[in-house]
Amino acid sequence: MRTIMVLNAKGGCGKSTLSTNIAGYFAHAWEGRFGLIDFDPQRSALDWLKRRPGHLPYIAGFDGYSNGIASVPADIELLVIDPPARCHGNELERMVSYAETFIVPIQPSPIDIGAASKFIQELHDLHRVQNKEVKIAVVGNRVRENLKIWGDLERFLNSLKIPFVTHLRDAQNYIRAYSRGMGVHELPPYLGRDDVAQWEPLVKWLESKQSVPKQRKVVPLQAEMHPVEAAAAELANL
């Protein structure tokens, strides 16, 4: 099972928004059994799933807050984990034990930058991180490029010793998509085009070997493919 967690101890940084959009992207672009587990007592990710239209690719939902990680069946191929806010100490260590790939969203404000600096140091001090059993990347979230504070955040993210993969704008499309149980990749192209372009570096990183620890051998999911193309690919591997 491939496991991806969107993690930041500070509340209001957009964890659930990124979690639901990551789950929506993989369900939209790939074939497989996908799951989304919500450890947050507010259950924002599960509320998103309840809004999801039946004609869109299915994503299984799990209540991690009530039932824990054991509620996820073994046949789930990719699991997106939405943890609670204010994770520190033993709870942070427990959450980090559940995943192998971590996205840390950081908003452009002095408070968020300061909190992120301390949180990333706390992450680096964990046993699994020091042993390189996980991969971590950061994302600038809810960015308004015309504001000076974006430049401060960009310099901070570039100063870190972990990949800064992209920044995502502060856009109405995320509210629009959430209210419909969709990800921005599932919006009509004329609406979601600009946001999908900003997501491209992030999904490329998530689909690459750079996002998976070397100790972990992952069987890749299969991208959606026309039956003829699938047959040709199978023959090529014989």
Query: pLDDT of 1-42, one tens digit each?
Result: 999 999 998 878 889 999 999 999 999 999 899 999 999 999
- Statement: residue 203 has pLDDT above 90: yes
Strand 2-6 with 135-143, pairing = unpaired
| Residue 119 DSSP SS3 | helix
Domain map of the chain by residue range?
A: 2-215+223-236
| CB distance 104 to 138 below 8 Å | yes
Summarize pLDDT for 145-162 with one digit per residue, the tens.
999 999 999 999 999 989
Summarize pLDDT for 101-128 with one digit per residue, the tens.
999 999 999 999 999 999 999 999 999 9
Rounded to an integer, what distance in angstroms lies between the CA atom of residue 160 and that of residue 181? 34
Summarize pLDDT for 209-225 with one digit per residue, the tens.
999 998 654 444 444 43
Q: Please give the helix or strand (H or E) that residue 142 lies within, else none.
A: strand 135-143
Strand 30-31 with 222-223, pairing = antiparallel
Burial class (CB in 10 A: 0-12, 13-18, 19+), 27: buried
pLDDT score, position 87: 86
Residues 6 or more apart whose Cβ sits within 8 Å of residue 220: none
Distances 165 to 4, 141, 160 between C-alpha atoms, Å:
15, 11, 12
pLDDT score, position 180: 96
Rounded to an integer, what distance in angstroms lies between the CA atom of residue 110 and that of residue 115? 9
Residues 6 or more apart whose Cβ sits within 8 Å of residue 215: 132, 133
Which residue type, as a one-letter code, is found at position 201?
A: P
pLDDT score, position 156: 92
Q: Which two structure tokens, joined as six digits, stand for 8?
A: 């930041």
| Residue 9: closest CA among 98, 64, 72, 83 | 83
2-215+223-236 CATH: 3.40.50.300
- Statement: residue 238 has pLDDT above 70: no
The fraction of the chain above a pLDDT of 70, given in percent, is 90
State the first-to-last Cα distance of the chain, in angstroms, to the nearest integer.
26
